[in-house]
Structure 1
């Protein structure tokens, strides 16, 4: 006789498929384990006795062994999900994540589909930040998808604990303060943020900052310890100058210096406009345009050195 130790998530059908190559092996398990029934919920580490060498489908057993497959479908509780609010955002997460968390505050209601078999979660937002914790109750093969349905104005959102690989906003989302630390994702979805005056992307890997150009109310951008190329900073800073418009002064913490020298750029001989060719020249223009600093001075912190209005 053989002894088998149950692993996490296995039910009696999984064990039969693993040992015998067919769920018909349940009969042998029931004979050798008198206390076992089809309704028994197996526990992790529970030992079961089986007839050693008795295999019903050798091809299945061999295939699973060759590919390291151990069936563990578990007992699932599937809930119907109904949402009353418009869909606002979709997040893609690594399939390897077991649990996630995020923090929200504001006014209104948030409904969440966690992308597993759990019931939809409804959150009534308040002034005090509320931390959402979720442990996934099922596995996925590729990316996990989380959906937010909301009719709300967010005072603060911290998505760092979700570690998303992508965030897609499906409608304009009012978020005053947004935190997303130590992540690696494209910021394309941030083009339709509204009312945002503070963004913290410290420690993140960023390939493009241009989606933030239209965040004209931004007053603080924290990129400290972010992994970002100087040329990406150049493109963003030059775009800010080119599309300045009605914009608030901002305090930026940069992880590296943009390219070029901090100096007044050359002017076009025909139009008299600056010909900005580097990020440091863009910073010079921002700080020396009086009208852009009347309501408050711009600041750029680079390598613990502060560049601001003289």
Structure 2
């Protein structure tokens, strides 16, 4: 007798098609597995016994094996899905990911569409972070899409375990602490963050930090071990200086030094304004502008060297 381990998203007919080349093979499965019935919902990892060398359509079995096809049609009864809250976040993931997780805390309710055949997951937020784990029950050819429907106020969100390829905020998202590490994606949507005072983007590969200049309530920005070009850091720092406005003082952890030398920039002879020529000169201006450091001192940690108000 042979033994077969069920793949996520498979039903009894999928297994029969894979083993025997025809759904008629369910008869052999039912005979060899007395606890199995047509109403049984298979779970990933379950072991089924089948008759060795019993094949109904050898050509189908051979074709599936040659092309690496594993039928996994699952149950399709959950669509269309309905939601009671507004759409807030859309994340896309690589198609091959099987299991993901994230952590959330706050006040309110969150509805998650995992982008597979599972029902809507409803989460009641609490002060203590909840770890949400999901195993996808189907396969997709292109990227998988996850949608969050909510009007909650988040205390913390950690999306690192989702490994998103893209992130789109559809509306303003209130979150105090946001963590998203080891990702490669655009930060454009982070302009819509609200009330965020801590942002952890360590170990990310980022092509543009300018959207973070819109996060005026940040008090900690962790970019340690992030893959950033010095010119990208320069652009972010000069944007901070040029559009400082009303914002909190912040501790910024950088993985590498911006360009230039830490010194006072030259001034324009006509206007008297600084002519910032490098990222390190922008750091000097931020730390030496008294009005920007009255409520608390800015701090830049670069290559384990701390630059702050003297």
Q: Shorter chain as normaliser: what TM range?
A: 0.7 to 0.9
- Between the two proteins, the alignment pairs up a number of residues equal to 305
TM-score under structure 2 length normalisation: 0.88
The reply to whether residue 196 of structure 1 matches residue 196 of structure 2 is yes
Runs of 4 or more consecutive aligned structure 1 residues displaced over 6 Å after TM superposition: none
Query: How far apart are 1:172 and its partner, in Å?
Result: 0.7
1 CA distance for matches of 2:104 and 2:215? 20
User: Any gaps of 5 or more consecutive residues in structure 2?
Assistant: none
Residue 68 of structure 1 corresponds to 68
Q: Which residue of 1 aligns with 2:113?
A: 113
**1:120-179 per-position Cα deviation (integer Å, ceiling 9, x unaligned):** 122222322222222223332222211111111112111112221111000011111111
Quick check: 1:298–1:308 contact (8 Å CA) kept in 2?
Answer: yes
Task: State the alpha-carbon separation in 2 of the partners of residues 134 and 30 from structure 1.
Answer: 28
TM-score using structure 1 length: 0.88
Aligned equivalents of 1:195, 1:307: Cα separation in 2:
26
- The answer for the alignment partner of 1:216 in structure 2 is 216
Are 1:6 and 1:47, in contact at CA under 8 Å, matched by a contact in 2?
yes
Structural mapping, 1:208-287, within 5 Å: 208-287=208-287
The alignment yields a C-alpha RMSD, in angstroms, of: 2.6
CA contact (8 A) 2:30 2:36 kept: no
Q: Which moved more, 1:37-46 or 1:126-135?
A: 37-46
The question of whether the paired residues in 1 share the 8 Å contact of 2:111 and 2:148 is answered with: yes
Alignment-derived partner of residue 123 in structure 2: 123
Greater CA deviation, 74-83 or 181-190? 74-83
- Structure 1 residues 222, 26: closer, same or farther in 2, change over 3 A? closer
**Any conservation in 1 of the 2:33–2:49 contact (CA below 8 Å)?**
no
Question: Which residue in the other structure is 2:51 paired with?
Answer: 49
- Residue ranges of structure 1 left out of the alignment (5+ in a row): none
Task: Find the structure with the greater CA-based Rg.
Answer: 1
| 2:6 alignment counterpart | 8
1:67-216 to 2 correspondences below 5 Å: 67-74=67-74, 78=78, 81-216=81-216
1:78-112 Cα shifts (integer Å, max 9, x gaps): 36532111111011112222222222222222111
